[in-house]
């Protein structure tokens, strides 16, 4: 008898839930929601649009957000990339109006996902100053460490909710309160925590959050 195979790498990716598979298959067939949701001139596009908006509302409920706040991307890597670069580029546009404006300062940690690390390094090469926080002995990025790193020109802090290698959970609620009080924005990579920990963005001082469907 063949031994059963056990899969313990859910931190990397998960099998698709059977209920999700059924919905996905329904969207592929000619009798399903296969239309282009942007094509509102015919019923096929309209049905597809309804399916997309239902999914948007479901994701919003998962994290305590409004449906209008949910933006579809290819995944958490693109989401984090867009979050960091988008905020930095918007700040650069505003600073361009002032002669000699500085590129500003962001805070992240040394143990973020590669998507955040690579994007922060790219911004650093473009002139943005980056503080790379080291985790404490428990593998956490503390609110006190973030507070100590905040500067007058800090415009963004980017940290994980749950670390994908260590499993440590940062106190995003307290970090968010301090970052917002300082006047900076907070981006949270919640790819590893969404669906596993309760998230209510209506109660958190979080401005941008990255999620990943294949880890939920």
More confident residue, 77 or 35: 77
**pTM assigned to the model:** 0.91
Residue 24's pLDDT band, with cuts at 50, 70 and 90, is: confident
Q: What is the dihedral of CA 145, 146, 149, 150, to 10 degrees?
A: -150
User: Under 8 Å CB-to-CB from 127, ≥6 apart: which residues?
Assistant: 103
Between β-strands 154-160 and 105-109, what pairing exists: parallel, antiparallel or unpaired? parallel
Q: Check residue 158 and give left, alpha or beta (phi > 0: left; psi -120 to 50: alpha).
A: beta
User: How far apart are the C-alpha atoms of 89 and 76, rounded to whole Å?
Assistant: 19
Write out pLDDT tens, residues 32-50: 788 888 898 998 889 889 9
Q: Among 27-36, 74-83, 106-115, 158-167, where is mean pLDDT lowest?
A: 27-36
Question: What pLDDT sits at residue 2?
Answer: 81
Helical residues (DSSP H) of the chain, grouped into ranges: 18-26, 43-63, 76-95, 114-125, 143-149, 172-182
Q: What is the average per-residue pLDDT within 131-153?
A: 98
Task: Write down the CATH number for the domain with range 76-215.
Answer: 3.40.640.10
Tokens of 214: 């294949």
Tell me: pLDDT of 144 over 80: yes
| Phi then psi dihedrals of residue 187, to 5 deg | -105, 135
Residue 54's pLDDT band, with cuts at 50, 70 and 90, is: very high
Tell me: pLDDT of 98 over 60: no
User: How far apart are the C-alpha atoms of 140 and 164, rounded to whole Å?
Assistant: 12
Percent residues over pLDDT 70 in the chain: 96
More confident residue, 186 or 39: 186
Print burial letters for 102-136: b (CB count within 10 Å at least 16), e (below 16).
ebbbbbbbebbbebbbebbeebeeeebebbebebe
Domain range annotation of the chain: 18-67, 76-215
More confident residue, 29 or 154: 154
Write out pLDDT tens, residues 190-212: 999 999 999 999 999 999 999 99
């Amino acid at each position: 008898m063949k031994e059963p195979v056990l899969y313990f790498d859910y931190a990397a990716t998960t099998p698709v839930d059977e209920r999700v598979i059924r919905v996905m298959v329904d969207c592929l067939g000619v009798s399903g929601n296969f239309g282009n949701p942007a094509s509102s001139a015919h019923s096929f596009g309209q049905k597809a649009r309804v399916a997309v908006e239902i999914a948007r509302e479901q994701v919003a409920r998962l994290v305590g957000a409004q449906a209008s706040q949910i933006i579809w991307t290819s995944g958490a890597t693109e989401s984090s990339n867009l979050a960091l670069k988008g905020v930095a580029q918007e700040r650069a546009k505003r600073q361009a109006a002032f002669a000699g404006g500085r590129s500003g300062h962001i805070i992240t940690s040394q143990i973020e996902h590669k998507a955040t690390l690579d994007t922060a390094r790219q911004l650093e090469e473009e002139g943005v100053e980056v503080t790379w926080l080291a985790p404490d002995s428990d593998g956490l990025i503390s609110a006190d460490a973030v507070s100590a790193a905040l500067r007058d020109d800090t415009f963004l802090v980017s940290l994980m909710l749950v670390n994908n290698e260590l499993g440590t959970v940062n106190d995003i609620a307290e970090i968010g309160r301090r970052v917002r009080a300082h006047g900076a924005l907070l981006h949270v990579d919640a790819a590893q925590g969404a669906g596993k920990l309760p998230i209510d963005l209506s109660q958190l001082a979080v401005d941008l959050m990255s999620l990943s469907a294949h880890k939920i």
